[in-house]
């Protein structure tokens, strides 16, 4: 096996046994990036010299007898996560020249664990989108079919993983942005419980929904990454002060006695038949592993999308008010007065989707409309939360498709925001409810990967990982790799 094809846990094994060095591993991944990133366009920024330096340090530390949970493992970060001294563009012109003077808490934790940072991956501008087509710089392509989108907004992270251009990655998930691209690219992605992972240093989109999540080539890698990045952080007042388990301890190959709910709202109209077929087979595998399967209902599912598209833009309109050309990034030159400077900075700096969200959000929050839209949406959010609460009284986890379709063509939905928004019908409810959910490969439709979504209660990461791991052990989907067209 080639080094860039390794999973994190396989690489750690070889590193610990001194069969490979972090330097060799990093070189192999960097060579892979040179070979395929022109096709996938997963990365916005690459830091090969720094990566080699960090790999050397990791080798020295290991030689000196020091260990770290991820010592010498090359990793990619979505470009809305701050890493000191590197551009953090958020896929936006307005932050093109922004270089954060500090590390996000997740980056500090990964650094302390010995990670080698490869660079920053592409995303939809400010994480608003489901295809990476909203990146101000370029569209990332799906390694399974370069004419298709990798999903979004963490499309760069998902494509990089799927094309073996990194061993692991971080994404962010506000309404599905870790899980949906993971599903479309055939990798594993986990959205942790709201508050499980610190948001300090994650550029805010919708603060009550945003959560950083691990992405990996398999479930074990996600468990390893989550064990490192999770935990309380005094710098994020919404971070939970509960102990972090070693998530790899939860991974067992059977599901005896586990209760798995299948929400009836997650099947039927709008879901591609091939996706539904793969899902039905996956549920049978869970049953064969000993799980008790039962039907359940999440009756307010149909309201999740409209609620999200009131609340997320409302929060975004407030969060993005800070980009006015004064403190961060782009500033329009030669404006005659301060108002004109704001206007020109934002007009030039933001792309169409971001402007649409700011307008939607400002409208929903404005006097006279607040009660009818924002407040009402908050109330329906509570109903959506209660749906899950009730389902988890009866079931340990609920399962369904991650996305209604496989990867779509580049350009297919770019002019139709509503169609694009529908990509997230099954992933948005979990963000609104604040619960955890994971997507992992469960088959193919039309030759493209399909994702199985496993949702668990608040702090139910161990359960979700356990179900995912058992399923993964019983199937071969995660070991299928794309042949990038140029290689054929
Ligand atoms: N696709 C959704 C949106 O456009 C979710 C994005 C995300 O999770 N960051 O808002």
Q: Element (H or E) spanning 172, and its range?
A: strand 168-172
Q: Can you give the pLDDT at residue 399?
A: 98
Average pLDDT of the segment spanning 109-117: 98
Separation between Cα atoms, residue 484 and residue 225, nearest integer Å: 27
Strands 397-401, 259-263: pairing kind: parallel
Q: Is the CB of 153 under 6 A from ligand 1?
A: yes
> Does the structure show a pLDDT above 90 at 174?
yes
Is 239 labeled as catalytic in the residue annotation?
A: no
65 Cα–ligand 1 center, Å? 43
Burial of 206 (0-12, 13-18, 19+ CB in 10 A): buried
CA distances from 379 to 352, 359, 458 (A): 29, 22, 19
Sign of the torsion formed by the C-alpha atoms of 115, 121, 127 and 130: negative
173 Cα–ligand 1 center, Å? 7
Separation between Cα atoms, residue 468 and residue 459, nearest integer Å: 16
> Does the structure show a pLDDT above 60 at 419?
yes
Q: Element (H or E) spanning 36, and its range?
A: helix 22-40
The closest-lying atom of ligand 1 relative to the alpha carbon of residue 129 is: 4
Q: Can you give the pLDDT at residue 488?
A: 43
Which of 80, 91, 124 to mutate for ligand 1's pocket (most ligand atoms within 8 Å of CB)? 124
209 Cα–ligand 1 center, Å? 10
| Domains defined along the chain, listed by start | 3-261+393-479 (3.90.1300.10)
Q: Is the CB of 202 under 6 A from ligand 1?
A: no
- Alpha carbon dihedral 286, 229, 111, 236, in 10-degree steps, equals 160
* Residue minimizing CA distance to atom 10 of ligand 1: 128
Q: 43-57, 381-395, 474-488: which range is least confident on average?
A: 474-488
128 Cα–ligand 1 center, Å? 5
Phi/psi of residue 466, nearest 5 degrees:
-65, -45
Is 78 labeled as catalytic in the residue annotation?
A: yes
Strands 43-46, 292-296: pairing kind: unpaired
Single out the residue of 173, 139, 147 nearest to residue 402, CA to CA: 173
> Does the structure show a pLDDT above 60 at 487?
no
Question: Residue 384's pLDDT band (boundaries 50, 70, 90)?
Answer: very high
Which of 151, 177, 208, 308 to mutate for ligand 1's pocket (most ligand atoms within 8 Å of CB)? 177
Is residue 119 helix, strand or coil? Answer: strand
Q: Are the CB atoms for 185 and 144 separated by under 8 Å?
A: yes
Is residue 176 helix, strand or coil? Answer: coil
Please give the biggest Cα pair distance in the chain. 70
> Does the structure show a pLDDT above 80 at 153?
yes
Q: Are the CB atoms for 29 and 74 separated by under 8 Å?
A: yes
Question: Residue 243's pLDDT band (boundaries 50, 70, 90)?
Answer: very high
Phi/psi of residue 236, nearest 5 degrees:
-125, 105
177 Cα–ligand 1 center, Å? 5
Question: Residue 1's pLDDT band (boundaries 50, 70, 90)?
Answer: confident
Q: Is the CB of 174 under 6 A from ligand 1?
A: yes
Planar angle of CA 13, 17, 23, nearest 5 degrees:
80
Question: Residue 205's pLDDT band (boundaries 50, 70, 90)?
Answer: very high
The closest-lying atom of ligand 1 relative to the alpha carbon of residue 154 is: 9
Q: Is the CB of 424 under 6 A from ligand 1?
A: yes
User: Catalytic residue among 21, 92, 131, 153, which?
Assistant: 153
313-347: b or e for each residue (b if 16 or more CB lie within 10 Å)? bbbbbbbbeebbbeebbbbbeeeeeeeebbebbbe
Q: Is the CB of 313 under 6 A from ligand 1?
A: no
112 Cα–ligand 1 center, Å? 30
The per-residue pLDDT for range 421-433, each reduced to its tens digit, is 999 999 999 999 9
CA distances from 336 to 324, 329, 341, 349 (A): 15, 20, 7, 18
User: Catalytic residue among 131, 154, 177, 198, which?
Assistant: 177
> Does the structure show a pLDDT above 70 at 389?
yes
Which of 128, 158, 304 to mutate for ligand 1's pocket (most ligand atoms within 8 Å of CB)? 128
228 Cα–ligand 1 center, Å? 25
Cα–chain center distance at 122: 12
Question: Residue 486's pLDDT band (boundaries 50, 70, 90)?
Answer: low
Q: 2-6, 222-226, 269-273, 320-324: which range is least confident on average?
A: 269-273
Is 153 labeled as catalytic in the residue annotation?
A: yes
Q: Can you give the pLDDT at residue 328?
A: 84
Q: Is the CB of 79 under 6 A from ligand 1?
A: no
Average pLDDT of the segment spanning 331-346: 95
421 Cα–ligand 1 center, Å? 8
Q: Is the CB of 127 under 6 A from ligand 1?
A: yes
Q: Is the CB of 425 under 6 A from ligand 1?
A: no
Q: Element (H or E) spanning 169, and its range?
A: strand 168-172
The first and second tokens of residue 374, run together, are 């924002």
> Does the structure show a pLDDT above 70 at 241?
yes
The closest-lying atom of ligand 1 relative to the alpha carbon of residue 205 is: 9
Average pLDDT of the segment spanning 125-145: 98
Separation between Cα atoms, residue 382 and residue 389, nearest integer Å: 10
């Amino acid at each position: 096996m080639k080094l860039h094809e390794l999973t994190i846990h396989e690489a750690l094994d070889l590193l610990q046994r001194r069969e490979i060095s972090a330097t060799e591993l990093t070189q192999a991944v960097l060579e892979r990036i040179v070979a395929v990133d022109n096709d996938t366009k997963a990365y916005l920024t690459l830091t090969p010299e720094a990566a080699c330096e960090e790999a050397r340090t990791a080798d020295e530390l290991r030689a000196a007898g020091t260990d770290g949970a991820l010592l010498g493992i090359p990793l990619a970060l979505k470009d809305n996560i701050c890493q000191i001294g590197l551009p953090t563009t958020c896929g936006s012109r307005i932050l093109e020249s922004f270089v954060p003077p500090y590390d996000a808490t997740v980056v500090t934790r990964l650094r302390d664990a010995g990670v080698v940072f490869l660079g920053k991956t592409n995303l939809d501008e400010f994480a608003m989108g489901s295809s990476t087509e909203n990146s101000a710089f370029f569209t990332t392509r799906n390694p399974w079919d370069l004419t298709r989108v990798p999903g979004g907004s963490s499309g760069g992270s998902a494509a990089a993983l799927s094309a073996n251009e990194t061993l692991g990655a971080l994404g962010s998930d506000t309404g599905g942005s870790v899980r949906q691209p993971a599903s479309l690219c055939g990798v594993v992605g986990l959205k942790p419980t709201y508050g499980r992972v610190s948001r300090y240093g994650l550029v805010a989109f919708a603060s009550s929904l945003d959560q950083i999540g691990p992405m990996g080539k398999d479930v074990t890698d996600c468990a390893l990454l989550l064990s490192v990045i999770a935990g309380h952080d005094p710098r994020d007042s919404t971070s939970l002060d509960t102990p972090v388990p070693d998530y790899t301890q939860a991974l067992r190959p059977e599901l005896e006695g586990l209760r798995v709910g299948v929400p009836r709202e997650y099947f039927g109209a709008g879901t591609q038949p091939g996706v539904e077929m793969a899902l039905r087979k996956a549920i049978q595998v869970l049953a064969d592993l000993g799980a008790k399967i039962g039907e359940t209902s999440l009756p307010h599912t149909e309201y999740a999308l409209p609620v999200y598209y009131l609340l997320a833009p409302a929060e975004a309109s407030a969060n993005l008010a800070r980009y006015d050309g004064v403190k961060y990034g782009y500033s329009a030159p030669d404006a005659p007065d301060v108002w004109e400077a704001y206007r020109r900075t934002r007009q030039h700096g933001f792309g169409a989707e971001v402007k649409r969200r700011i307008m939607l959000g400002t409208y929903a929050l404005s006097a006279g409309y607040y009660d009818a839209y924002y407040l009402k949406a908050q109330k329906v959010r509570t109903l959506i939360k209660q749906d899950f609460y009730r389902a988890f009284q009866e079931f340990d986890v609920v399962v369904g498709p991650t996305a209604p379709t496989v990867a779509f063509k580049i350009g297919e939905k770019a002019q139709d925001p509503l169609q694009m928004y529908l990509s997230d019908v099954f992933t948005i409810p979990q963000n609104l409810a604040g619960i955890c959910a994971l997507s992992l490969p469960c088959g193919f439709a039309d030759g493209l990967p399909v994702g199985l979504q496993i949702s668990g209660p608040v702090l139910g990461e161990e359960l979700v990982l356990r179900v995912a791991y058992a399923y993964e052990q019983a199937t071969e989907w995660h070991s299928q790799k794309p042949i990038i067209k140029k290689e054929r």
